[in-house]
């Protein structure tokens, strides 16, 4: 009651802004770019950096001195000079093994480390060998990206977070999901939920547009392809089926283009990491240019001192990319069949992911579904916005009505049985959370242990499914063969992650389970990483923010001094003193260790020098355009 009266008595909007805001965020951890979004005053919005950029390139650079650089700088500057130490598209390695297709590709700038204990086996997690004699797992690389997003969100919300919803491709298997959740924990986030990307997009879209009916979400990102069929009705978002390919995306288009460009330039099969990085970047730039243009050309240094101009027309690119794009067709067909929906009966097709900007992809979707796809929400942001809505709901945010998300298991889960056959316990497209039980018996007298192999996939044979983990059940009471009855329970939680437990039925004794993930880290390994990072995590984020602000301070101080040196005549009385005072403030703050203080000092300097800077700018413009006709000046100004 007091609360309500207080609300009425409070005329300002400050209360609405702060009290109605949960401190939970949505994170789209993408192959190419990542974003963080929050719900503020009832609407989801992506958080931008000081330059207004919401997207953080998912590129992580490891420097020789132990520093880690994430984002634009890593992508635009460091990747070219240090291709081996600058990891891009790490998402494609999440939950993958050292012998997976991704790690054994010819066209890769990376070097993989072999690590004791895993080296002898076909299984085991991928590790990148980077500067400073370090070997980092994809999980750790992803955690670096998440730390940057967490710092951005904490800055915006002015304090620690309640938790985060992190999105994953719907078609991610159990190992990929676990790796993502562990990366979140390593980055110091309370992971409230892993949310499937197409479902996140549908949530953002459905709530924004008040959409009802059966929709297909076509999500083609940098590295993954997902399709989900959802029924939207009275606030219920029910996934009917999902399908995809967790190794198909814009990266594969780049690779197809890059291979063709290299072949043309007579450099096919190069293993020079610098050349590979440059050609992959050139292919991406050409692909992006060809979204709006019909031809593109770009200069690339293929050998020291030898620059080659690579040219491509849109038609040529489409011919290179079309076979890759065709790989979307079988998952689309199966998802529609699984949902029991005919192509003509969809209310709409929602486009998600950067690759859906390509005209070829849009034509493909339109032809396949026989209707024009919807892209009214920015396909780069829609997933993060949906995740923010889900995070707000989970954290108890008001105003979401009766929204209910019902998602599914993307791939069947089973156990290896006699003869290497995979017996499915949980079938694909079963609504999560879900469970299943299976009873086994011992085959030897006094047998006290039991080995189980958990697999995921649709194929009949274990060898053709994804190996998730091997379990050893121990502590079965000694009994004659066939007497012990072991009940193995599978349970898939709302994150789509499997938990296995076992019980000996006749005695009721819980069997201890020892997990050995096939392509991941054990819980102990992850715990150790988290403990190690705990001591440093806070410091790391602060150190990075501090370093960034110092660089900016140096730049602005140098620029201001140069301007005063160049144009002393433009300073008005007392202005020099005022700017000097502000400069002194920046320099003093730069020497401290508080990044906030530096930021404030920079703003003060900006403020003090603004009239002077404006005068200089005006004069430069006047001089630059003197003698030209007015229309040309207008055109030039308008164009910028």
Partner 1 sequence: MICWSCQKQAGAGPLCAACGALQPPDDAADLFAVLGLPARYAVDLAAGEAAYKDLSRQVHPDRYATADPRARRASLARTVQLNQAWRTIKDPVRRAEYLLTRAGIDIGGKQPTPGGDEKRTVEVGAPPAFLMEILELNDELAAAQRKGDTVKVAFMAEEMRARARETMKTIAAALDAGVPAQLHEAARSLVALRYYLRFIEQASGQEAKLEGGSGAG
Q: How far is CA 602 from CA 148, 188, 548, 554, 556, in A?
A: 22, 30, 13, 10, 8
Q: How far is CA 411 from CA 7, 8, 33, 133, 335, in A?
A: 49, 52, 26, 38, 12
- Subset of 138-157 contacting partner 1 (CB under 8 A): none
Does 91 qualify as catalytic in the annotation?
A: yes
Residue 155 or 487: the one with the smaller Cβ distance to partner 1 is 487
Does 123 qualify as catalytic in the annotation?
A: no
Hey, which bits of 314-365 come out as E strands?
A: 348-352
- Considering only residues 318, 338, 548, 578, which one is a binding residue for partner 1 as defined by CB under 8 A? 338
From the list 138-146, 351-359, 426-434, 605-613, the region that binds partner 1 by CB under 8 A is: 426-434
Residue 406 touching partner 1 (CB under 8 A): yes
**3-class DSSP state for residue 607?**
helix
- Considering only residues 129, 211, 236, 613, which one is a binding residue for partner 1 as defined by CB under 8 A? 236
Residue 438 touching partner 1 (CB under 8 A): yes
Among the options 28, 182, 254, 380, which is catalytic? Answer: 28
Structure tokens, 343: 């192509």
Q: What is the DSSP string of 402-463?
A: T-EEE-B-SS-EEEEEGGGEEEEEE-TTPBSSEEEEEEEE-SSTT---EEEEEEESS-SBGG
From the list 207-215, 428-436, 559-567, 583-591, the region that binds partner 1 by CB under 8 A is: 428-436
Residue 56 touching partner 1 (CB under 8 A): no
Q: Measured from the CB of residue 459, what is the shortest distance to partner 1 in angstroms?
A: 15
Among the options 40, 197, 381, 416, which is catalytic? Answer: 197
Q: Measured from the CB of residue 402, what is the shortest distance to partner 1 in angstroms?
A: 6
Residue 488 or 582: the one with the smaller Cβ distance to partner 1 is 488
Between CA 108 and CA 482 the distance in angstroms is: 52
Q: Measured from the CB of residue 235, what is the shortest distance to partner 1 in angstroms?
A: 9
From the list 433-441, 549-557, 586-594, 614-622, the region that binds partner 1 by CB under 8 A is: 433-441
For residue 119, cis peptide bond before it (omega within 30 degrees of 0): no
Residue 192 or 546: the one with the smaller Cβ distance to partner 1 is 192
- Considering only residues 297, 319, 337, 558, which one is a binding residue for partner 1 as defined by CB under 8 A? 337
Which residues are within 8 A (CB) of 247 and not within 5 positions of it... i.e. 6 or more apart?
92, 101, 102, 223, 224
Residue 475 touching partner 1 (CB under 8 A): no
Q: How far is CA 488 from CA 439, 447, 511, 512, in A?
A: 6, 17, 10, 12
Structure tokens, 91: 């998402």
Does 73 qualify as catalytic in the annotation?
A: no
Between CA 252 and CA 292 the distance in angstroms is: 20
Between CA 386 and CA 208 the distance in angstroms is: 10
Q: 411 — phi, psi (to 5°)?
A: -135, 140
Residue 214 touching partner 1 (CB under 8 A): no
Does 28 qualify as catalytic in the annotation?
A: yes
Structure tokens, 481: 């063969």
Q: Measured from the CB of residue 404, what is the shortest distance to partner 1 in angstroms?
A: 5
Structure tokens, 584: 């002194």
Residue 394 touching partner 1 (CB under 8 A): yes
Residue 432 or 605: the one with the smaller Cβ distance to partner 1 is 432
Among the options 182, 219, 252, 281, which is catalytic? Answer: 219
Q: Which residues are catalytic?
A: 28, 91, 197, 219
Contacting residues toward partner 1, per CB under 8 A: 162-163, 192-193, 236, 337-338, 340, 390, 393-396, 402, 404-406, 430-439, 491, 493-494
């Amino acid at each position: 009651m007091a609360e309500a009266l207080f609300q009425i008595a409070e005329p300002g909007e400050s209360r609405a802004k702060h009290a109605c805001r949960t401190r939970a965020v949505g994170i789209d951890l993408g192959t190419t770019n990542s974003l963080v979004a929050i719900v503020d005053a009832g609407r989801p919005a992506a958080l931008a950096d000081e330059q207004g950029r919401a997207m953080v390139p998912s590129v992580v650079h490891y420097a020789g001195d132990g520093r880690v650089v994430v984002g634009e700088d890593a992508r635009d500057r460091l990747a070219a000079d240090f291709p081996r130490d600058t990891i891009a598209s790490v998402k494609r390695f999440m939950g993958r093994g050292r012998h997976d297709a991704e790690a054994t590709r010819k066209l890769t700038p990376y070097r993989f480390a072999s690590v004791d204990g895993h080296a002898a086996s076909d299984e085991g997690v991928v590790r990148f060998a980077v500067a400073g004699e370090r070997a980092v797992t994809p999980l750790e690389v992803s955690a670096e990206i998440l730390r940057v997003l967490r710092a951005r969100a904490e800055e915006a919300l002015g304090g620690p977070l309640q938790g985060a919803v992190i999105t994953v491709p719907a078609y991610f298997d159990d190992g990929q999901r676990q790796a993502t959740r562990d990366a979140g924990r390593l980055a110091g986030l309370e992971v409230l939920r892993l949310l499937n990307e197409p479902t996140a997009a549908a949530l953002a879209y459905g709530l924004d547009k008040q959409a009802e009916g059966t929709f297909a979400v076509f999500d083609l990102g940098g590295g993954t392809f997902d399709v989900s069929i959802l029924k939207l009705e009275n606030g219920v978002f029910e996934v009917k089926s999902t399908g995809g390919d967790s190794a198909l995306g814009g990266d594969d288009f780049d690779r197809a283009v890059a291979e063709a460009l290299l072949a043309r330039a007579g450099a096919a099969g190069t293993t020079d990491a610098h050349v590979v990085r440059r050609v992959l970047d050139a292919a991406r730039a050409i692909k992006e240019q060809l979204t709006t243009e019909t031809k593109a050309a770009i200069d690339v240094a293929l050998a020291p001192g030898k620059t080659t101009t690579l040219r491509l027309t849109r038609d040529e690119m489409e011919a290179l990319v079309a076979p890759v794009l065709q790989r979307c067709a079988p998952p689309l067909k199966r998802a529609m069949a699984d949902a029991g929906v005919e192509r003509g009966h969809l209310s709409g097709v929602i486009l998600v992911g950067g690759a859906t900007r390509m005209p070829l992809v849009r034509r493909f979707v339109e032809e396949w579904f026989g209707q024009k796809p919807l892209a009214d929400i920015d396909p780069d942001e829609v997933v993060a916005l949906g995740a923010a809505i889900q995070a707000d709901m989970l954290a108890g945010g008001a105003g979401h009505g009766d929204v209910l998300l019902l998602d599914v298991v993307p791939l069947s889960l089973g156990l290896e049985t006699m003869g290497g056959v995979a017996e499915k316990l949980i079938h694909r497209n079963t609504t999560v959370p879900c469970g299943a039980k299976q009873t086994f018996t011992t085959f030897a007298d006094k047998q006290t242990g039991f080995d189980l192999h958990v697999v995921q996939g649709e194929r009949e044979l274990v060898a053709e499914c994804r190996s998730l983990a091997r379990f050893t059940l121990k502590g079965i009471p000694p009994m004659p063969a066939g007497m012990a009855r072991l009940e193995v329970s599978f349970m898939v939680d709302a994150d789509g992650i499997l938990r296995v437990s076992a019980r000996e039925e006749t005695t009721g004794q819980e069997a201890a389970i020892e997990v050995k993930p096939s392509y991941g880290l054990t819980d102990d390994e992850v715990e150790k990483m988290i403990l190690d990072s705990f001591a440093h995590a806070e410091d790391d984020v602060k150190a990075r923010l501090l370093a960034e602000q110092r660089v900016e301070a140096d730049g602005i101080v140098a620029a201001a001094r140069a301007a005063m040196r160049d144009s002393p005549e433009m300073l008005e009385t007392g202005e020099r003193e005022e700017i000097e005072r502000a400069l002194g403030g920046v320099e003093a703050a730069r020497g401290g260790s508080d990044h906030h203080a530096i930021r404030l000092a920079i703003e003060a300097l900006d403020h003090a020098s603004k009239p002077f800077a404006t005068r200089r700018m005006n004069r430069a413009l006047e001089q630059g355009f003197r003698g030209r006709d007015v229309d040309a000046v207008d055109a030039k100004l308008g164009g910028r």
